[in-house]
Amino acid sequence: MREETERNARSKASIEQRVAATKEALIDAGRITQADLDQFASMAEDWRPENGAKVVARAWTDPDFRARLLEDATSACAEMGYAGPQGEYIVALENTPDRHNVIVCTQCSCTAWPVLGLPPDWYKSPAYRARVVREPRKVLREMGLWLSDEVAIRVWETSAETRYMVIPLRPEGARSLNEDALANLVSREALIGVALAAPPAIQSPDNVGITSHSF
């Protein structure tokens, strides 16, 4: 108790100081090396939502790949080179005209890193984690996505080891685009299910709201 009282009287170390102290203590004790840290930090830079966007674009253009993706997304993503931590068991959720999928992790912030990247701040926010399971329609509207009441919303809670990705509907008017151009229509938000794939006609950042590309 006295120890806690004394602790409370001292000032808190800043987060920068605490991170630096932890790193120094572990390296000084020979527990880990700077190279270990660099390795994981650079892995994180390779996990990009562009990866998931390419998976979606291939599913839109290649019916055999789409079938493999829906059957076994872990293997289908791995065949495109996207695998690794938090990608051990991926399930792809296909939106249809009458069913929309959206992903959350209410208890922490689990995400399919190799195809979605490390999650953005809004996905990790207590507000998103608390609200989207209970009032998804309202949350999506606030984020700029208006769905008809006829569309059923399925909210997928990432409570165990399955990591999800959403396959958004292919936008109307995108028939003539090639795979690379189609991938550019798919944002991280669309892969999580809080946005649609952007229609190709809408390219101005002034009028796309949340569906604008966040990467």
Partner 1 sequence: MDGIHDLGGTQGFGHIDVEADEPVFHHPWQRTSFALMMATQIILRSHNADEYRHAIERMDPAHYLLCDYYERVLTGTVSLLVEKGYLSREDVERRAGGVFELAGPVSDRPLADLTPQPEARFNLGDRVRVLNISPSGHIRAPKFCRGHEGTVIHRAPKFRFPDTSAHDGERRKEHTYHVEFKSKDLWSDRDAANDSVIVDLWDSYLEFAL
Residue 77 catalytic? no
Q: Closest Cα to residue 125, out of 142, 111, 108, 137?
A: 108
In the three-class reduction of DSSP (H, G, I as helix; E, B as strand; rest coil), residue 87 is classed as: coil
159 binds partner 1 (CB under 8 A): yes
The binder of partner 1 chosen from 13, 67, 181, 201 (CB under 8 A): 13
Interaction with partner 1 in 37-56: which residues (CB under 8 A)?
A: 37-41, 43-45
165 binds partner 1 (CB under 8 A): no
List, in order, residues 6 or more apart from 14 with CB less than 8 Å away. Answer: none
| CB-nearer residue toward partner 1: 61 or 162 | 162
Closest approach, Cβ 114 to partner 1, in A, equals 14
Question: What is the total count of residues that contact partner 1 (CB under 8 A)?
Answer: 77
Closest approach, Cβ 149 to partner 1, in A, equals 7
Calpha distance 124→108 (Å, rounded): 7
The binder of partner 1 chosen from 51, 95, 111, 158 (CB under 8 A): 158
Selecting among 108, 125, 159, 214, the annotated active-site residue is 108
The binder of partner 1 chosen from 67, 71, 81, 142 (CB under 8 A): 142
List, in order, residues 6 or more apart from 50 with CB less than 8 Å away. Answer: 183, 215
14 binds partner 1 (CB under 8 A): yes
78 binds partner 1 (CB under 8 A): no
Per the document, the length of the chain is: 215
| CB-nearer residue toward partner 1: 60 or 110 | 110
Calpha distance 95→207 (Å, rounded): 24
72 binds partner 1 (CB under 8 A): no
Q: Which residues pair with 166 in a beta bridge?
A: 93
Calpha distance 70→34 (Å, rounded): 40
Interaction with partner 1 in 86-115: which residues (CB under 8 A)?
A: 89, 91, 104, 106-109
Closest approach, Cβ 98 to partner 1, in A, equals 9
The DSSP line for 100-150 is EEEEE-SSS----HHHH-SPPHHHHSHHHHHHTTT-HHHHHHHTT----TT
List, in order, residues 6 or more apart from 118 with CB less than 8 Å away. Answer: 44, 47, 111
Closest approach, Cβ 37 to partner 1, in A, equals 4
**Residues taking part in catalysis:** 105, 108-110
